Structure 1
Amino acid sequence: DLEQFAKQFKQRRIKLGFTQADVGLALGTLYGNVFSQTTICRFEALQLSFKNMCKLKPLLNKWLEEADSSTGSPTSIDKIAAQGRKRKKRTSIEVSVKGALESHFLKCPKPSAQEITNLADSLQLEKEVVRVWFCNRRQKEKRMTPPGIQQQTPDDVYSQVGTVSADTPPPHHGLQTSVQ
């Protein structure tokens, strides 16, 4: 019964065009219990305790009835959804601009606020877009660097040129083959 309800709830919520965050906010405004997007997500995925699922079901059922009955006319649910946190539309960055950002990142992965402002102005982007791009790019760098290997700055790379000896094994992430 709970599984079936959770599945139907998710389908109807999506069909009505509400996000999980909208539902959580609406429950708070309508019935006094604010729930996070995470809680609604876990309800839909059946990842809450049985007791919590049972507590949440009647509230979500009431919300669905309210949402169903109000389709077509702006109601309290629509107003509540409009109050929800509005996210900025995803930014698309042109290939040439991305190349310029990458090139700057290789020289300086952590630019100052002034450098970000200058770069944003020169590329005709918002400062926040450039700042977030650098944050995301540093995170990508972290993910792509194997554990135990220190990240190198461009200066480190240039200072090591010519220091490889015949005894130095190739950087194969710990895998070595013996030559016979």
Structure 2
Amino acid sequence: HSDEDTPTSDDLEQFAKQFKQRRIKLGFTQADVGLALGTLYGNVFSQTTICRFEALQLSFKNMCKLKPLLNKWLEEADSSTGSPTSIDKIAAQGRKRKKRTSIEVSVKGALESHFLKCPKPSAQEITNLADSLQLEKEVVRVWFCNRRQKEKRMTPPGIQQQTPDDVYSQVGTVNSDTPPPHHGL
């Protein structure tokens, strides 16, 4: 492999920019590209890898390895616009994502009140709840996962949820050893 074949970092930057623009214009997601590379050339790449390539966040060596594959993919995608090809079929496989579930306000209220009593229900409780609310079990399971994550985000790190007893037990200990503020100025 001679030095003339190795792209410069400027070449890579230019290519990554053009690649991203073309990919978006052609209507493919980063995940579509990763899947297509697997089907076309035997190397499946994750959406993350394609994203990092476009953002120039891979090592120089990996950028150089990926560039020719992505270039070939672009040529294939460009030449096939207008006619359904292997790329379109691959893209269709990659897009089988479940539609976002929307939950009615009343149902959300029921889930919320159950969460306050029990933030981590058992599989059986999830099944019972799903049946009573006429939702899929998976929808209820995911709702609880998401709700626990939301709780984590809302509670600053280092602060546990306090019960009223905790607060009262601390009242007597505050400032018992230290003089009141401004004392001795």
Same fold (TM over 0.5): yes
What is the correspondence of 1:73-92 to structure 2 with a 5 Å cutoff?
A: 73-84=83-94, 86-92=96-102
> 2:184 and 2:160 mapped to 1: Cα distance?
14
1:156 Cα offset (Å): 8.8
1:95 Cα offset (Å): 2.0
1:15 Cα offset (Å): 1.9
1:109 Cα offset (Å): 0.8
Q: Structure 2 length as normaliser, TM-score?
A: 0.77
Aligned to 1:69: 79
User: What are the ranges of 5 or more consecutive residues in structure 2 without an aligned counterpart?
Assistant: 1-10
**Cα pair distance change 1:5/1:78, threshold 3 Å:** same
Aligned length: 175
**Cα pair distance change 1:127/1:106, threshold 3 Å:** same
CA deviation digits over 1:55-96, x for unaligned, max 9? 211111110110111112111111222333622111112222
Does the CA contact (< 8 Å) of 1:107 and 1:154 recur in 2? no
> 1:65 and 1:173 mapped to 2: Cα distance?
78
Decide which moves more: 17-26 or 142-151.
Answer: 142-151
User: What are the ranges of 5 or more consecutive residues in structure 1 without an aligned counterpart?
Assistant: 176-180
Does the CA contact (< 8 Å) of 1:106 and 1:154 recur in 2? no
Identity %: 99
> 2:145 and 2:109 mapped to 1: Cα distance?
16
When the two chains are superposed, the root-mean-square deviation of aligned CA atoms in Å is 5.0
**Cα pair distance change 1:42/1:144, threshold 3 Å:** same
Q: Structure 1 length as normaliser, TM-score?
A: 0.79
**Cα pair distance change 1:169/1:39, threshold 3 Å:** farther
**Cα pair distance change 1:59/1:150, threshold 3 Å:** same
1:149 Cα offset (Å): 2.4
